């Protein structure tokens, strides 16, 4: 039988959804990159013989970075904010606890599943079922809420449902040897899942958080931005899937212009008045940078030159997605544990160090780089990612199983 102390820890840990899902997400950030380092050191550093996996290393890496990490943070965050966004009812334990347990078990089995396909099939069943339970919980809040403005919830909920289908498609591609689903979901996962969700959350939350910190701040949340970015991302996906990458500069410039405009209107420079707010603005600034790189790459292809390789993709995934997760999770963790919304200098410097993760990964794909420098750049980026999140975890993970400092429930 469990002791009263163990029961109290579990009761605290499971009191609200973000505690459970954020912990799982942070663990995945570290486990996925640890696995990637193991693979890279075998292929590039020759520290050991390359390991034969049930999925190719690029396919497995893409799944983990798109579908194996961010959904945990999405569920933890959206289960927290949906009731606030729409004045709806709270997500019940009978939904979020099973969703967390199933998804976590599925991802824990994913790694041995890369060695044995039978285990990978069990991973798929657990993970997809947990994702479905989480979606049902969010849908229940959405359906019952009476608030007239459900734009952000509609976008995030729809894309999260599409993400579930894509993750199932990846599993099917590996288990049954189907190439098309693997090719499609690696691209669609970024443009039809992650980018619309992250942009909708940024559009909703950055002005809100900035308004409580920056003096004289005017909320700027233009509806036309939501009408441009998700459709433009869909157009990029369609062009890339049909081999017309040389023309993606059209939607890419549209997204870049929108993101850079918002970076300016949301007062990027003024955000440095408070580091925890600056972290959000820095993370969002990467969206404009990444989309400019995509546009430049596309225009180069139009002229018959291939440059930058995956540099734009990693500016988007590491710089924007990774940076925004680090910033948003830090803020939610502090705010919902009864602590002051102030980050200590070590976390601020760690976040700045994290920017080098994106920079080194971008450098690794610049044209003309010697192979040895390229491989070292990849390894350095992976190591920095792991160092930053291990440091963050050591500082903040214990918060998730400890009571709030202000004595309030939750």
**Which DSSP string corresponds to 169-217?**
HHHHHHHHT-HHHHHHHHHHIIIIIIHHHHHHHHHHHHHHHHHTTSTTP
pLDDT for res 344: 94
- 8 Å CB contact between 342 and 276: yes
pLDDT digits (tens, 9 = 90+) for 320-347: 999 999 999 999 999 999 999 999 999 9
Which residues contact residue 314 at a Cβ distance below 8 angstroms, ignoring those fewer than 6 apart? 358, 361, 362, 365, 381
Q: How buried is 241 (Cβ within 10 angstroms: 0-12 exposed, 13-18 middle, 19+ buried)?
A: middle
In 10 A of CB 307, how many CB atoms? 15
pLDDT of residue 292: 98
Q: DSSP assignment, residue 271?
A: G
Residues in the chain: 410
* H or E element that contains 44: none
Output the pLDDT for position 49.
81
* CA–CA gap between residue 256 and residue 290 (Å, rounded): 8
**CA 169, CA 153: separation in Å to the nearest integer?**
24
Structure tokens at 195: 């980018």
pLDDT digits (tens, 9 = 90+) for 58-104: 999 999 999 999 999 999 999 999 999 999 999 999 999 999 999 99
Q: In degrees, to the nearest 5, what angle opens at C-alpha 19 toward C-alphas 13 and 24?
A: 105
pLDDT value at residue 48: 80
CB 124 within 8 A of CB 173: no
The pLDDT value given to residue 97: 98
Give CA 32 to chain center in angstroms: 13
- Are the C-beta atoms of 207 and 219 separated by less than 8 Å? yes
Model pLDDT, residue 46: 73
- Model confidence at 398, in pLDDT bands (50, 70, 90)? very high
State residue 6's pLDDT score.
72
**pLDDT of 275 over the 60 cut:** yes
Provide the residue ranges of all domains of the chain, joining segments of one domain with +: 12-401
Rounded Cα distance between 309 and 364, Å, is 9
Q: Which of 386, 361, 387 is nearest to 374 (CA)?
A: 361
What is d(CA 142, CA 156) in angstroms, rounded to the nearest whole number?
A: 11
Position 1 pLDDT exceeds 60? no
What integer pLDDT is reported at residue 2 of this predicted model? 54
CATH of domain 12-401: 1.20.210.10
Contacts of 171 (CB under 8 A, 6+ apart): 120, 121, 123, 124, 127, 128
pTM given for the model: 0.95
pLDDT exceeding 70 applies to what percent of the chain?
A: 98
**What is the CA 132 to chain-centroid distance, rounded?**
19
Give the span between the Cα atoms of 262 and 273, in whole angstroms: 18
∠ CA 324-36-112, nearest 5°, is 110
Angle at 384 between CA 383 and CA 388, to 5 degrees: 120
C-alpha to C-alpha distance for 107 and 88, rounded to whole angstroms: 30
Q: Closest Cα partner for 309 from 357, 356, 256, 362?
A: 362
Residue 364 vs residues 62, 315, 350: alpha-carbon distances, Å: 17, 12, 22
State the pLDDT confidence band at 233, using cuts at 50, 70 and 90: very high
């Amino acid at each position: 039988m469990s002791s009263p102390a163990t029961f109290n820890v579990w009761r605290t840990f499971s009191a609200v959804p973000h505690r459970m899902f954020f912990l799982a997400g942070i663990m995945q950030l570290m486990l996925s990159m640890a696995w990637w380092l193991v693979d890279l050191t075998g292929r590039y550093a020759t520290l050991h013989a390359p390991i034969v996996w049930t999925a190719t290393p690029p396919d497995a890496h893409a799944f983990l970075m798109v579908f194996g990490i961010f959904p945990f943070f999405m569920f933890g965050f959206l289960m927290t904010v949906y009731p606030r966004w729409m004045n709806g009812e709270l997500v019940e334990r009978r939904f979020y606890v099973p969703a967390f347990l199933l998804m976590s078990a599925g991802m824990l089995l994913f790694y041995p599943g890369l060695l044995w396909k039978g285990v990978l099939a069990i991973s798929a069943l657990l993970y997809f079922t947990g994702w479905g339970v989480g979606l049902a919980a969010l849908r229940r809040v959405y359906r019952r809420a009476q608030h007239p403005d459900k734009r952000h919830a509609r976008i995030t909920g729809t894309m999260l449902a599409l993400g579930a289908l894509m993750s199932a498609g990846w599993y099917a591609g590996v288990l049954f040897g189907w190439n098309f689903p693997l090719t499609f979901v690696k691209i669609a996962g970024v443009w039809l899942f992650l980018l619309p969700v992250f942009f909708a959350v940024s559009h909703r939350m950055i002005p809100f958080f900035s308004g409580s910190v920056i003096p004289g701040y005017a909320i700027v949340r233009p509806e036309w931005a939501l009408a441009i970015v998700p459709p433009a991302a869909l157009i990029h996906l369609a062009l890339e899937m049909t081999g017309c990458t040389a023309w993606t500069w059209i939607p890419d410039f549209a997204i870049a212009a929108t993101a850079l405009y918002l970076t300016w209107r949301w007062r990027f420079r003024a955000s440095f008045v408070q580091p925890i707010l600056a972290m959000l603005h820095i993370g969002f600034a990467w969206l404009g940078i990444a989309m400019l790189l995509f546009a430049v790459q596309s225009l180069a292809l139009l002229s018959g030159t291939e440059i930058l390789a995956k540099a734009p993709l990693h500016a988007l995934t590491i710089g924007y997605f990774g940076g925004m997760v680090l910033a948003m999770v830090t803020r939610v963790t502090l705010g919902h544990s009864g602590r002051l919304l102030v980050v200590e200098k070590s976390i601020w410097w760690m976040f700045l160090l994290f920017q080098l993760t994106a920079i080194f990964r971008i450098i690794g794909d610049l044209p003309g780089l010697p192979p040895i420098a390229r491989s070292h750049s990849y390894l350095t980026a992976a190591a920095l990612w792991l160092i930053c999140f291990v440091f963050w975890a050591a500082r903040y993970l214990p918060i998730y199983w400890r009571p709030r400092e202000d004595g309030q429930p939750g």
